Amino acid sequence: MYSRLEITVEPDKFWDHCGIFGITNHPEAARNVYLGLYALQHRGQESAGIVTSDGRRLHLEKGMGHVADFFDERKLTRLIGSHATGHVRYSTQGASFPRNAQPILIDGWRGQIALSHNGNLLNAAELRFQLERDGSIFQTTSDSEVILHLIARSRKETFEEALMESLSVVQGAYSLLIQTPTKIFAVRDPQGFRPLSIGKLDHSWVFSSETCAFDLIGAVRVRDVECSEIVKWDLHEDRLESIMIPKPPKPAHCIFEHVYFSRPDSVVFGKGVNNSRYQMGRILAQEAAVEADIVVPVPDSGLTAALGFADQSGIPFRFGLIRNHYVGRTFIEPKQAIRHFGVKIKLNPVAEILQGKRVILIDDSIVRGTTSQKIVEMVRAAGAKEVHMRISSPPTISPCYFGIDTPTKNELIASSHTVEQIREFLHADSLHFLSLAGLKRAVGDHKNFCTACFSEEYPLPIETGRSQLDLFRKET
C-alpha cells in the first residue's frame, strides 16, 4: 500500500545560498528577470520574487516555491515597467516564511525601496536590536531588512549618501540589488564574498549573481561589480555610475562558488567555473593516484572534476550513477521502509557498468558523511569490486558565516574525524581529499579567495562557537 506524504528528500549537500538578477530599460523587464531567475534556480529553491518599476511606482510579486511554479502569465502581466530586479532564496538568516521572500519592499519618507540580498550580515542582531529600540518595526525575520531600515532612518540628504552611510555600519557578506522607482543600485561588500556581474543586452544593463543567466537572455558579460563598489543606474540618465563604499576593498571571494555553488557554465569572480573544477580533478589525480578500472562522478556536482581526474589518470570515465532530476518534496512513498530511500530516489547505480569493477567515485565535498556513506554502499551493492572515494576539495572543517547555511562545526564530520576515520565510516577502500594548496592552484588566484570552511581562517572576526541563526538572535 502506498500513501502520499510530504517529505523532504535527503539533500546531497547542505550548502544553501541565494541568487539575484536585474535589468534596466527593457520593454519586457519582468519576463527577462523571470528567465534570469530561472537560470539561477540552483542558487535557491525556497522562494522567488520580482519587483518592477514604471518610473513612478514599484510593483511586486513574490512567494514560496520555484520560479516556474510561482510565476504565471497573470502575475507577470501585473509586473509593469521597464526596469526590474528579482531574487531566488534559500534561507540562511531568518526562518522559511512567505514574508521572508525577497525582494523586500518598503514605502517610507524616501519613497519606495526594494532590496534583494545574497549574503549574510554578521552584526544584524545588534543592529536590529538598536533599530527596534529606536522605534523601527520589522516585517520579516531576515537580516537583509536591516539595511532597508538603516537607509530609511538615515538623515543624509540624498539616497546615495544614505546608502553609503548604511553600508558603512554593516559587517559581513552582501551582494545587493536595490531598486527605487527611478534607480537601480548593484552593490558588493569590501570582501566581495558573493559574486555579482554586469552584462549588456542591446540598450539594457543587466546584473546577475552568475553569468549563466546572461547566456539565457542573450546578454554579454561586461565585468564584475568590484569589492566596495556601488554601481548606480538612473532612469533619467540611462548610464552606469560607479561609487565607492567608504571601506577599503579586501577581496575574499568564496572559493566554494567554484567548488560547488555556481553552475559550471558560469564565469564567477572573473574565472570560468568549468575550468576550475576540471583542474581540481586533474590535480586530485596527481595527488591521489590509485589503480582502478573506471572513474564515476557523483552527479551532478562531481561531473567536471571527474572528467579532469579521468583525463589526468588515463582511467576511463563512466556514468555509473544516474540522477533523477525530477524529485520533488511530495510524492508517493511506500509505507514499508526502504533502505537508503532518500538517496535511492535521487541516484541509481548502473550495475552493468559497476559490476566487478574497481571504481573511483568523485564528489565535490563531504559534509556530514551520511549521504556519501550510502552512495558507497549502493555502488558496492551494484557489484563494484572496490570503491575508492576522491573528493575535489579539502575536508570541510568549519561552517560558513558569509551567506551559506552550513551545519554547525560539530555536524561537519571532518572537524572531528581523521581522513582514515572518515574512510572507515564510508566503508570505502580508500579516501583522499584535494589539498588546500591544490585547490588554490586550480582556481589560479588563491590570494583573493576565502577558504575559511577548509582552513578556519576567517577574513572577518566571528564568534565561531555560534551557529548562523544564533548570530541573528538578539541577546535577552
Residues 347 and 395 in one domain: yes
pLDDT at 288 over 70: yes
Last residue of a domain, one of 191, 221, 252: 252
| pLDDT number for residue 4 | 32
- pLDDT-derived band at 435 (thresholds 50, 70, 90) equals very high
- pLDDT-derived band at 98 (thresholds 50, 70, 90) equals confident
Query: Which range has the worst mean pLDDT, 14-28, 251-265, 274-288, 381-395?
Result: 14-28
Q: What angle do CA 44, 46, 51 make, to 5 degrees?
A: 80
Q: What is the CA radius of gyration of the chain?
A: 23
- pLDDT-derived band at 10 (thresholds 50, 70, 90) equals very low
On whether residue 129 sits in a domain, the answer given is yes
Residues 365 and 427 in one domain: yes
> Against a cut of 0.85, is the pTM above it?
yes
Residues 208 and 302 in one domain: no
Residues 94 and 149 in one domain: yes
| pLDDT number for residue 97 | 74
User: How is residue 399 written as a grid cell?
Assistant: 561552517
pLDDT at 23 over 50: yes
On whether residue 178 sits in a domain, the answer given is yes
- pLDDT-derived band at 224 (thresholds 50, 70, 90) equals very high
Catalytic residues: 18
Mean pLDDT, to the nearest integer, of 278-288?
Answer: 98
- pLDDT-derived band at 96 (thresholds 50, 70, 90) equals low
Q: Pairing between strand 104-108 and 111-121? A: antiparallel
On whether residue 267 sits in a domain, the answer given is no
| pLDDT number for residue 341 | 66
- Tell me the residue range of the domain where 169 lies: 14-252
Residues 105 and 210 in one domain: yes
Mean pLDDT, to the nearest integer, of 380-393?
Answer: 98
On whether residue 144 sits in a domain, the answer given is yes
- pLDDT-derived band at 15 (thresholds 50, 70, 90) equals very low
Residues 208 and 317 in one domain: no
On whether residue 89 sits in a domain, the answer given is yes
pLDDT at 352 over 90: yes
Mean pLDDT, to the nearest integer, of 204-216?
Answer: 98
Question: In this structure, how many other beta carbons lie within 10 angstroms of the beta carbon of residue 101?
Answer: 24
On whether residue 142 sits in a domain, the answer given is yes
User: How is residue 424 written as a grid cell?
Assistant: 572507515
Residues 303 and 230 in one domain: no
Residues 231 and 104 in one domain: yes
CA–CA separation, 88 and 40 (whole Å): 7
| pLDDT number for residue 340 | 62
Q: What is the residue-averaged pLDDT of the chain?
A: 90
Query: Which range has the worst mean pLDDT, 227-241, 335-349, 352-366?
Result: 335-349
On whether residue 32 sits in a domain, the answer given is yes
Query: Which range has the worst mean pLDDT, 2-16, 82-96, 404-418?
Result: 2-16
Q: Is 428 helix (H, G, I), strand (E, B) or coil?
A: coil
Percent pLDDT > 70 in the chain is 88
| pLDDT number for residue 324 | 82
| pLDDT number for residue 93 | 47
Residues 94 and 177 in one domain: yes
Name the DSSP class of 317.
B
Residues 239 and 107 in one domain: yes
Q: End-to-end alpha-carbon separation of the chain, Å? A: 50
pLDDT at 116 over 50: yes
| pLDDT number for residue 9 | 34
Query: Which range has the worst mean pLDDT, 95-104, 315-324, 383-392?
Result: 95-104
- pLDDT tens digits, 45-92: 999 999 999 999 999 999 999 999 999 999 999 999 999 999 998 754
User: How is residue 98 written as a grid cell?
Assistant: 512567505
| pLDDT number for residue 443 | 96
Adjacent-strand bridge partners of 389: 361, 431
| pLDDT number for residue 47 | 95
Last residue of a domain, one of 189, 218, 252: 252
pLDDT at 449 over 90: yes
The CA-atom distances, in angstroms, between 103 and each of 60, 173, 245 are: 8, 17, 22
CA–CA separation, 407 and 470 (whole Å): 12
CA–CA separation, 197 and 206 (whole Å): 8
- pLDDT tens digits, 244-261: 998 999 999 999 999 999
Residues 423 and 300 in one domain: yes
Give Cα 160 to chain centroid, integer Å: 28
Query: Could you tell me if 341 and 331 are in contact, meaning their C-beta atoms sit under 8 angstroms apart?
Result: no
The tally of domains found in the chain comes to: 2
Residue 52 sits in a domain whose CATH number is 3.60.20.10
Torsion of CA 105, 269, 432, 441, to 10 degrees: -160
On whether residue 150 sits in a domain, the answer given is yes
Residue 299 sits in a domain whose CATH number is 3.40.50.2020
- pLDDT tens digits, 163-209: 999 999 999 999 999 999 999 999 999 999 999 999 999 999 999 99
Nearest to 84, CA basis, from 96, 94, 71: 71
Question: Which one-letter amino acid corresponds to residue 355?
Answer: Q
Nearest to 350, CA basis, from 381, 382, 302: 382
Residues 45 and 127 in one domain: yes
